[in-house]
Amino acid sequence: MTGCRALHRHKAHAAFINDTIQHRARLTMKILHLLSTIDPRAGGPTEGVRQSGVNMAALGHEVEVVTLDDPAAPWLAAFPLTVHALGPSKGNYGLTPNLVPWLKQNAMRFDAVIINGLWQYHSYGAWKALHAMQVPYYVFPHGMLDPWFKRTYPLKHLKKALYWPWAEYRVLRDAKRVLFTAEEERVLARQSFRLYKANEEVVAFGTNPPPAASAPVRDAFLAAYPELKEKRLLLFLGRIHEKKGCDLLIKAFAQIRDIDPAAHLVMAGPDGGDWTPTLQKLAAELGIANRITWTGMLLGDMKWGAFQASDAFVLPSHQENFGIAVAEALGCGLPALISDKVNIWREVEADGAGFVATDTVEGTVSSLTRWLELDPSRAAAMRGQAKDTFHRRFTVDAMSKDLLRVLQTGAREDAGPLQSVQTA
């Protein structure tokens, strides 16, 4: 009798697991994203989750987000998806006692869990909760395995190397898939640590199409910065951070300033490291302080107004996983003058949607010079090609479809072998 009850419980449990996994193979999915923060100042991963989540919800899928943010964080209310803020968390690592219990209690509600980013507690905590459960999880490293960090911050890398075998290595090793947004990122990710195992896949990444060009939006931006009127604007839009190559951009601009006296550099973005005063001092020493405008972070119509008022987009990064701002610029018809450390540089170069050079002063001088000296007909053609490249390669629709393909393929892989458990 006891054996019959045990067999009954075994079959009931197997049926529950099988039903759960068969559900994952259906067309509609319940997806949970994990991020350390959804603060818009955090950049690309947050914006990618926001846009892809809204897009997937519009297709009938259910998307929720877990973050380590304090529940009182001011940016939570404006986020367009269901958010579970499990902070407050401690320090830059984001340690919180709430994450693992929440995942153990709720993870089975979801068909897939997606970890966005590494090196903070949300990734390791997710592994602790999920690796023994019947919930597949996926990881977007978002460029955080790039060997640039190893070369630039050797002491930090030593600390990471000690931590790696016990945490992030396991996060990647046990993931259903580790998702890269460019082939370049996938190749580079293998170069940071000798111990490395991951089921790799490259997926599309993108952003929403920009709003239609609007004279009032453009004029409102220029009205806010009247010194920019009648100027040929070269736009940098991103975090003011050393990895973005802001210093070499200023040095390069100083060298090409005489090519076109109307050329003016716009530095737009938040400064999380108080680097702006140093850069402004550099600009003054080079005699170009009056030819650079610092706007801080631009949002909404002000951001689109900056794109629409500009002549070209410049990003000479030392390391850039995807570059949502690059895609947005292309969508606005701005040629991208980028370094070969922006991981979508091959696509930009192959399509003729901008100019690519090394992440050096000399390389940036080359790209700026080529653009400023380009004849008007070729410049117009490049602007058209920029838009074509965006619509062909970098839309949020393409990103959502490709991610769903990966998640549903994984669900079908899980569904097969467990079918036999129920019928045994």
pLDDT for res 16? 47
Say if residue 77 is in the same domain as residue 103: yes
> Does 13 score more than 80 pLDDT?
no
Asked whether residue 333 falls in the same domain as residue 306, the answer is: yes
Dihedral sign for Cα atoms in the order 100, 101, 105, 109: negative
Quick one: 279 and 337 in the same domain?
Answer: yes
The answer to whether residues 12 and 122 belong to one domain is yes
36 with 166, same domain: the answer is yes
What's the pLDDT band for 19 if we cut at 50, 70, 90? low
The CATH number of whichever domain residue 50 belongs to comes to: 3.40.50.2000
Q: Specify whether 47 is located in the same domain as 100.
A: yes
CA atoms within 13 A on the CB side of 250: 24
Tell me the average pLDDT across 57-64.
95
| pLDDT greater at residue 15 or residue 138 | 138
pLDDT greater than 60 at residue 180: yes
Domain identity same for 390 and 401: no
pLDDT at 28: 87
In the predicted model, what is the mean pLDDT of residues 333-361? Answer: 96
pLDDT at 8 over 80: no
pLDDT score at 420: 34
Same domain, 267 and 296: yes
Please indicate whether residue 16 or residue 382 has the higher confidence score (pLDDT). Answer: 382
% residues pLDDT > 70 (the chain): 92
Q: How many domains does the chain have?
A: 2
Indicate whether 2 pLDDT > 60: no
Least confident of 145-149, 227-231, 293-297, 330-334: 145-149
Clarify whether residues 29 and 143 are in a common domain: yes
Asked whether residue 198 carries a pLDDT value surpassing 70, the answer given is yes
25-29, 63-67, 126-130: least confident range = 25-29
* Banded pLDDT at 18 (limits 50, 70, 90): low
Bridge partners, 342 (sequence order): 320
pLDDT of residue 114: 98
| Interacting residues of 228 by C-beta distance below 8 A, sequence separation 6+ | 221, 222, 264, 266, 293, 309
Mean per-residue pLDDT, 385-404: 94
Mean pLDDT of all residues belonging to the chain: 91
Residues 190 and 249 in one domain: no
> Do 195 and 309 have their domain in common?
no
> Span 225-250, mean pLDDT?
96
In terms of Cβ atoms closer than 10 Å to its own Cβ (0-12, 13-18, 19+), residue 300 is: exposed
DSSP conformation class of 208: P
- Bridge partners of 201? 179
Confidence of residue 26 (pLDDT cuts 50, 70, 90): low
How far is 275 from 253, CA to CA, in rounded Å? Answer: 18
Per the structure, the complete domain to which residue 73 belongs is given by: 2-207+397-423
Residue 201 has pLDDT above 60, yes or no: yes
Same domain, 265 and 281: yes
